[in-house]
Amino acid sequence: MTVTLDDVACLLYFPIDVMLLSHRSISRDEAVELMETYLGSSTGDALKEVEKTKGAHCRFGYLERIFKERLKEQRDLETEYGVTQEVQRLRDQVVRIYLLYLVGITIFTDKSQWAVDVVYLRYFRDLDLVAGYSWELRH
Amino acid sequence: MHDKETIPIMAAQWWQDKLQGTDLGWLQDTSYSLIDHDLICAFVERWHEETSTFRLGR
């Protein structure tokens, strides 16, 4: 039996009043595209993740690695050239990597424990819109 | 994610601002590192499939 939003509203009286997290599952190809565009992953890396996880997922170990790489890269670039567009782009990637990791180990854990569904990246495309989604209950 | 290399960089103002802007920073204080197996078993036993709810009464 699937829990519907109507069940939630009727049984638990949870208010549902902001942008809902609503998505269908994505294919491996779509996952690769999301990782390339929003995490700055190389095609080879992204393909390796969907292959290793046998689905539209990526491993936490991979996220940890690119998190550190991008974080240092933006710092080095900033030291040399200041806050350029490239630095801003890297910073956005770093924040998305961190958020994907964070939701993967907290609210969207699954049985695998070593990988996270890349589909959640779609909510992190525009970092200014992230706060507009219904991540938690608000009273 | 947090180690002696990354922590100093994550202390930067831009990081704090960006994370605060997403409203998801509170997740950092959440952790499942402590799992009470008895508690989980107790919840499983009280799950009712018909209503998809827990019955927590006696």
Model pLDDT for residues A74-115, shown as the tens digit of each residue = 999 999 999 999 999 999 999 999 999 999 988 888 888 899
Interface of A with B (CB under 8 A): 1, 3, 7, 11-12, 64, 67-68, 71-72, 75, 83, 91-92, 95, 98-99, 101-103, 105-107, 109, 124, 127-128, 130-131, 135-136
**Poorest-confidence range of A3-7, A22-26, A116-120?**
A3-7
Contact B27 A107 (CB under 8 A): yes
Q: pTM of the predicted model, to two decimals? A: 0.80
pLDDT tens-place string over residues B42-58: 989 999 888 888 888 76
| Cα distances (angstroms) measured from residue A51 to each of A45, A46, A100, A113, A119 | 10, 9, 19, 17, 16
Rounded to the nearest angstrom, the minimum Cα separation between B50 and chain A is 8
Q: Does B13 touch chain A (CB under 8 A)?
A: no
Please say whether the beta carbons of B5 and A115 come within 8 A: no
Percentage of chain A beyond pLDDT 70 is: 94
